[in-house]
């Protein structure tokens, strides 16, 4: 009855992660009602040829993490609104040779389009400059998708939503994720308390690590994103290692946790589509999976005061290249303010099957450095000003120094 069919996308909460899609009735039953996206094909219409075949061509998936799902009660504090505090756009190239996950800062000030209200009572007005994490409150998952489409110029046919409880259950399912920090980290806001060096996190501890802002980097959302990429790259290495993919029990638990704790767009809300996406991703080399941050900066004035101001020039090069499906590199030392590359011989946690790679070779390129970055494939150039890492890079989070 169990049939593992590969690694399917479900990059979660303050991050991205792949899940094993298992063609099992119970998993299918766990899937809830889907969410309609404006202009989407229905799941039935979007299906391709029957059978266990990979999704044809390139595709984009938006994973949204909410901070205050009503289903979790007051476990993580009371909020006046539910916000989309994590927004990760995953692009997979047409030949399935590389992928890029772009983390969009929750405080990034962007235009938000008019969106249909979830209760069907009309539409919300368009706004020219609002933090992107207000889009969910305006019109649910569909409004977040429409905002990201407008911001990036990239079509988004698939989307998924996950809450704090979902992150906890999925990290428990795989048995924990190894991370490291360069110094002890204490964050009274999330309860995170880690010693320097390596730790394996799961459940509430993993969630605290992903949520930590005041204990990491410069205390900003940008520092948190680069720290989250430490976790996400390690999580992907863990999932792709034999410890998870070779364990039917862990795959089953992971699929159940994902199906039970995610709300998916109609286009993604069936195992056939998830399986095809999983087959498209299962053989991706770790060094060809990029985690990057939407370019932006803090310290602005006016509407950008206390928020993140987009770097439209760098973002334009990134998304122009994503649409063109060209590979790209990251300049050395560009992991971001919340993480750093480990030195040779350092004990960065990662399954032994994951070889480190110093430079990203993902699915974007732009007018940037004309010199190939070290370790990049021939003809690959680096996008200046872009921060991130590959899934193969071994990095550590940087503790916030008050």
List, as one string, the DSSP characters of 342-395.
PPTT------TT----SS---S---S--SSPPTTPPTT--B-TT--EEETT--E
**CA 223, 226, 227: angle at the middle one, nearest 5?**
85
Report the DSSP beta bridge partners of residue 399.
216
Distance CA 128, CA 125 (A): 10
* Strand, helix or coil for residue 20: strand
Between strands 158-162 and 59-66, the pairing is parallel
CA 211 vs. chain centroid, Å, equals 13
CA 125 vs. chain centroid, Å, equals 28
Structural tokens at position 134: 């207000």
Tell me phi and psi for residue 311, to 5 degrees. -95, 90
* Strand, helix or coil for residue 17: coil
What single DSSP character describes residue 30? H
4-397 folds as Aminopeptidase (3.40.630)
Residue written as token pair 């976790």: 231
- The whole-number pLDDT of residue 53 equals 79
Q: What is the pLDDT along the chain (402 residues), one digit of tens a residue?
A: 222 222 233 333 222 333 333 334 667 777 788 899 998 765 444 444 445 678 899 999 999 988 765 555 555 556 667 889 899 999 999 999 989 999 999 999 999 999 999 888 899 999 999 999 999 999 999 999 999 999 999 999 999 998 888 888 888 888 899 999 999 999 999 999 999 999 999 999 999 999 999 999 999 999 999 999 999 999 888 888 766 766 777 777 777 787 788 889 999 888 778 878 878 887 888 889 999 999 999 999 999 999 999 999 999 999 988 999 888 888 888 999 999 997 533 334 443 333 333 333 333 333 333 333 433 444 478 899 999 999 999 999 999 976
CA 47 vs. chain centroid, Å, equals 24
Given a contact cutoff of 8 angstroms between Cβ atoms, the answer to whether 35 and 141 are in contact is yes
Please give, one letter per residue, the 3-state secondary structure of 48-71: CCCCCCCCCCCEEEEEEEECCCHH
- The whole-number pLDDT of residue 239 equals 82
Distance CA 131, CA 107 (A): 5
Domain boundaries, the chain: 4-397
* Strand, helix or coil for residue 89: strand
- The whole-number pLDDT of residue 112 equals 97
* Strand, helix or coil for residue 398: coil
Given a contact cutoff of 8 angstroms between Cβ atoms, the answer to whether 260 and 30 are in contact is yes
* Strand, helix or coil for residue 19: strand
Please give, one letter per residue, the 3-state secondary structure of 249-267: HHHHHHHHHHHHHEEEECC
Given a contact cutoff of 8 angstroms between Cβ atoms, the answer to whether 332 and 219 are in contact is no
Indicate left, alpha or beta for 96 from its phi (over 0: left) and psi (-120 to 50: alpha). left
Given a contact cutoff of 8 angstroms between Cβ atoms, the answer to whether 178 and 199 are in contact is yes
Residue written as token pair 């290495």: 237
DSSP assignment of 204-244 equals HHHHHHHH-STTBTTSSHHHHHHHHHHHHHHHHHHHHSHHH
Sequence-ordered list of residues with C-beta below 8 angstroms from that of 158, at least 6 positions apart, any chain? 59, 60, 61, 62, 264, 265, 267, 268, 273, 277
- The whole-number pLDDT of residue 152 equals 97
């Amino acid at each position: 009855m169990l049939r593992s069919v590969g690694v399917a996308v479900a990059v979660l909460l303050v991050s991205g992660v792949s899940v094993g899609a298992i063609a099992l009735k119970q998993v299918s039953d766990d899937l809830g009602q889907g969410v309609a996206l404006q202009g989407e094909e229905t799941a039935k219409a979007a299906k391709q040829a029957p059978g266990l075949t990979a999704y044809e061509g390139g595709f984009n998936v938006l994973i949204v993490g909410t901070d205050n799902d009503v289903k979790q009660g007051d476990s993580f504090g009371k909020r006046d609104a539910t916000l989309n505090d994590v927004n990760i756009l995953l692009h997979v190239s047409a030949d399935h040779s590389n992928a890029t996950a772009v983390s969009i800062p929750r405080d990034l000030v962007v235009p938000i389009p008019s969106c249909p209200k979830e209760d069907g009572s009309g539409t919300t007005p368009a706004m020219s400059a609002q933090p992107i994490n207000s889009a969910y409150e305006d019109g649910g998952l569909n409004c977040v998708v429409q905002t990201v489409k407008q911001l990036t110029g990239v079509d988004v046919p698939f989307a998924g939503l996950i809450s704090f409880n979902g992150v906890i259950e999925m990290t428990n399912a795989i048995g924990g994720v190894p991370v490291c920090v360069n110094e002890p980290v204490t964050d009274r806001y999330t309860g995170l308390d880690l010693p320097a060096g390596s730790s394996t996190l799961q459940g509430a501890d993993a969630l605290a690590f992903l949520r930590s802002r005041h204990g990491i980097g410069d205390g900003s959302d940008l520092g948190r994103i680069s720290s989250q990429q430490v976790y996400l790259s390690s999580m992907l290495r863990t999932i792709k290692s034999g410890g998870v993919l070779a364990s039917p029990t862990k795959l089953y638990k992971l699929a159940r946790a994902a199906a039970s704790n995610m709300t998916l767009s109609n286009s993604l809300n069936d195992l056939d589509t998830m399986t095809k996406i999983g087959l498209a991703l299962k053989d991706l080399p770790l060094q060809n999976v990029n985690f990057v941050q939407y370019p932006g900066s803090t310290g602005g004035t006016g509407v950008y005061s206390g928020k993140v101001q987009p770097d439209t020039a760098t973002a334009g090069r990134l998304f122009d290249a994503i649409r063109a499906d060209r590979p790209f590199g990251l300049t050395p030392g560009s992991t971001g303010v919340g993480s750093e590359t480990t030195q040779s011989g350092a004990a960065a946690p990662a399954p032994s099957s994951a070889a480190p790679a110093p430079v990203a070779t993902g699915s974007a390129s732009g007018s940037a450095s004309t010199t190939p970055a070290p370790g990049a494939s021939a003809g690959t150039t680096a996008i200046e000003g872009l921060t991130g890492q590959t899934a193969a890079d071994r990095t550590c989070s940087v503790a916030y120094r008050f």
